[in-house]
Amino acid sequence: MNIDALDTPTLVANLDVLEQNIDGMAAHCHQLGIPLRVHTKTHKVPEIAKLQIAAGSQGITCQKLGEAEVMVDAGIDNILIPYNIVGKPKLKRLTTLLKRAKIIVALDSEETAVGISQQAIADNCIVPVIVELDTGSGRCGVQSPQAAQRLAQQMMKMEGIDLQGIMTYPSNGRAKPFIDETLDLLSSDGIPVNIISGGGTGAEAASKEIGCTETRSGSYIYEGMTRVGSSEMLTPERCVLRLIVTVVSTPTPDRIIIDGGQKTFTSYPPTPYGHIVEHPDAKIYGMSVEHGHVNVSECSHRFKVGERLSVIPLHQGMTSNLHDTLVGVRGNNVEVTWKIAGRGKVF
């Protein structure tokens, strides 16, 4: 089928560029000598995760338990969930999932650890965990090497927990003193550290430099418009995703309206909302829920109702989460339709 036969707005992925990005990151990490554990939050498509594993990723990362369940359903068996698993329903799901795949979870508090331990005891299993360090991101994570040590000491006394190591995000030089001191303290307690997980697309070399045993990279898979312009190496040609949209109204000479708005692109600020590939001088200046508002005052091209445009979305992970399917194209040929199986797995 030709791409022009697709209804709009449709999310499509350029498979050639997707494969380039997968191979490029795999080669980059191989060259650096840092094992890659891809983060699948950006795409949420099991088939893409499998391509990443086939290219050398040693497993995957899922931000939520529900996404991990989807990936295990698809046959993926090595998953890090860098998220505090809290509450009875999720703890039960975690131990259930653990019987089907190798799962590691991150945590940052005694409360989370106790919950996991109690559920593991009840279900007669051992949960591998790592301690999240807040080395500057200001989100979750223990606040000091001493706090990491305290939590590790507490966990060593708990049944059902197998403390495997530590994690940080993002990997950078600022994290090194925190990590090094934590390693010293754990070593002095005789607590072995098998995993030092770092992360962030673009931080692969930093992960290696600060001593990580693996690096988590996610957004590289599509490359985002937010990164276009932030690096000389990155151009729209590297961006995998396009939203194929239709011009549905040309109300004034300066304005056209496309059939995708916040519900199609997400409302992620700031503007621009996306980059129109065929007419970069046409600027999406606003969006209502179902319409995109485009300023065409600087375009010589005269747009017509029914004309189709290809738009690179701004925040590719949030955009993917709004769509049920992703259409893989090679040139103008539709090659595959993937279900975005991890979409909406908020639990």
Contact mark string toward a copy of itself, 24..63, x via CB under 8 A: -----------------x---------------------x
Beta carbon nearer to a copy of itself, 55 or 341: 341
- 7 Cβ contact partners less than 8 Å away, ≥ 6 residues apart: none
Which range of residues in 21-29, 118-126, 139-147, 226-234 is near a copy of itself by CB under 8 A?
Answer: 139-147
For 6, the 3-state DSSP assignment is coil
| 217 touches a copy of itself (CB under 8 A) | no
Q: Does 8 bind a copy of itself (CB under 8 A)?
A: yes
Of the candidate residues 86, 122, 156, 336, the single one contacting a copy of itself (CB under 8 A): 86
- 339 near a copy of itself, judged by CB under 8 A: no
Burial class (CB in 10 A: 0-12, 13-18, 19+), 294: buried
89 interacts with a copy of itself by CB under 8 A: yes
Whichever of 33 and 138 has its CB closer to a copy of itself, that residue is 138
Residue 252 binding a copy of itself, by CB under 8 A: yes
* Partners of 339 in the β-ladder: 325
Read off the DSSP letter of residue 198.
E
Q: Is 2 in the site for a copy of itself (CB under 8 A)?
A: no
Cα 329 from Cα 331, distance rounded (Å): 6
- Options 50, 150, 263, 339; binder of a copy of itself; rule CB under 8 A: 263
* Tokens 């706090």 belong to residue: 147
Specify the 3-state DSSP secondary structure of 210: coil
- Closest distance to a copy of itself from the beta carbon of 8 (Å): 7
Residue 60 corresponds to which tokens in the numbers above? 């995957």
Beta strands 308-313 and 325-330 are unpaired
Q: Which of 118, 154, 249, 295 binds a copy of itself (CB under 8 A)?
A: 249
Among 83, 220, 222, 273, binds a copy of itself (CB under 8 A): 83
Asked if 185 touches a copy of itself (CB under 8 A), the answer is: no
> Comparing C-alpha atoms, which of 131, 161, 149, 160 is closest to residue 191?
149
How far apart are CB 84 and a copy of itself at their closest, in Å? 4
* H-state helical runs in 247-314: 262-265
How many CA atoms lie less than 13 Å away from 164 in the CB half-sphere?
18
Shortest Å, Cβ 31 to a copy of itself: 29
Residues between 103 and 132 that touch a copy of itself (CB under 8 A): 108-109, 111-112, 115
Looking up tokens 């590289």 gives 220
In the bound state with a copy of itself, the residue whose beta carbon lies nearer, of 146 and 194, is 146
Buried/exposed code over 70-84 (b: 16+ C-beta within 10 A; e: otherwise): bbbeeebebbbbbbb
Greatest Cα pair distance, the chain, in angstroms, is 72
Q: Give the separation between CA 317 and CA 20, rounded to whole angstroms.
A: 19
Rg (CA), the chain: 22
Task: Kindly state whether residue 295 participates in binding a copy of itself, applying the rule CB under 8 A.
Answer: no
Is residue 334 involved in binding a copy of itself (CB under 8 A)? no
For a copy of itself, the binding residue among 101, 121, 140, 228 (CB under 8 A) is: 140
CA dihedral sign of residues 39, 332, 325, 239 = positive
Q: Which residues pair with 132 in a beta bridge?
A: 167
Tokens of 79: 């998953």
Q: Is 223 in the site for a copy of itself (CB under 8 A)?
A: no
Any contact of residue 205 with a copy of itself (CB under 8 A)?
A: no
Does residue 305 belong to the site contacting a copy of itself (CB under 8 A)?
Answer: yes
Extract the tokens encoding 273. 């909302």
**Cβ of residue 56: shortest distance to a copy of itself, in angstroms?**
25
What are the residues binding a copy of itself (CB under 8 A)? 7-10, 41, 63-64, 83-84, 86-87, 89-90, 108-109, 111-112, 115, 134, 138-143, 246-252, 255, 257, 259-260, 262-264, 266-269, 288-291, 293, 304-306, 315, 317-318, 321-324, 344, 346-347
